[in-house]
Amino acid sequence: MRKKIIKYSIIGLTIIFIAIQFIPVDRHNPPITGEITAPSEVKNILQRSCYDCHSNQTDWHFYSYIAPVSWLVTNDVNEGREELNFSEWNKYDSKKQNKKINEIYEEIAEGKMPMKIYLITHPSADLTKNEKQVIKDWTDKKDIAYK
């Protein structure tokens, strides 16, 4: 009896797993309308650590093609782009750009960004103390420039 339940559960889950693969997932990279300008040192850090979720240049990894992980990944990318999109930087007025720049270092300093779950699969996106300082210096300067 128990063996049968296990067997049917495995068959059932396998069918569900296969079926959910057919649910469409939107994984597209919209066009870049206006890229943020920053010194290359800063830009490299942002590209390595933030661009997968905060730009239109997402590198869609293989697991982003496998449901249900794909749902989580696309959800983070959509939400991330909505909050902050370095590829559509021109769509923010200078006041909003200033606010976003302030938030960038805040999020990094508090250890909220890049997202912890993302670092499991992208350990190289983790920022060193030195890199955090580079971002701090840049955001501090920007702040003065806009005020």
Closest of 126, 122, 114, 84 to residue 101, by C-alpha: 84
Indicate the residue among 20 and 125 with the shorter CB distance to ligand HEC.
125
> 75-94: which residues touch ligand HEC (CB under 6 A)?
76, 79-80, 83-84
- Stretch of residues binding ligand HEC (CB under 6 A), selected from 21-29, 34-42, 60-68, 110-118: 110-118
Q: Does 101 bind ligand HEC (CB under 6 A)?
A: no
118: closest CA among 16, 48, 24? 48
13 or 41: CB nearest ligand HEC: 41
* Cα of 118 vs its chain's centroid, Å: 8
d(CA 4, CA 96): 60
What residue ranges bind ligand HEC (CB under 6 A)?
49-50, 52-54, 76, 79-80, 83-84, 103-104, 107-108, 113-115, 118
